[in-house]
Amino acid sequence: MALAMPIGNKSTSYPSGSLGFTYIGLLIFIAISGIALAGVGIVWHQDAQREREKELLFIGEEFRNAIGSYYENSPTATKQFPQNIEQLLLDDRFPTTKRHLRKLYKDPITQSKTWGLEIEQGHIIGLYSLSAQKPIKKYGFPTQYDGFGQADKYTQWKFVYLPGSNPANVVSQNDAS
């Protein structure tokens, strides 16, 4: 004798309107998570840019001080600025090699070793980043860089040594032993 067995379990029934509720809840959760992650991404990007700005200020000051050291410690009565950046690394104007800069730093904004150079009469008096990106920092610069707050792009952050402008930051060869 063969009994007819019903296919499926008719005793399991879902309340009316509950089908798809979990799916909609999951979609809402994914949307909220996406919005939160986008916000975190923006904050992370700004924090990373602020760190690169701090690094640019440090490196720019290192170059400015090196240019000042090169100029102030000229072996002749006529002081000179370097003609190229490599002269800051190996100053061969002396019987023994002098180093005004330990290494050639990368631009932290562009991640390149290529810098914009401020040239006066064929000599380097300063440098700047080649990035046209807009800076975040607008306040709290050291005195010699007060004008950086009005800059629209990093190319306007110029690290220039002007003789007598800030001699406290320049270490003479007599002081560096």
| Alpha-carbon gap, residue 171 to 43, rounded angstroms | 39
Task: Return the C-alpha torsion angle 7, 10, 16, 20, nearest 10.
Answer: -40
State pLDDT tens for residues 67-110: 999 999 988 889 999 999 999 999 989 888 899 999 999 999 99
Tell me the pTM. 0.73
Whether 33 and 133 have beta carbons less than 8 Å apart is answered as no
- Please name the residue that has the structure tokens 């003479």: 172
CB half-sphere exposure, 171, CA atoms < 13 A:
12
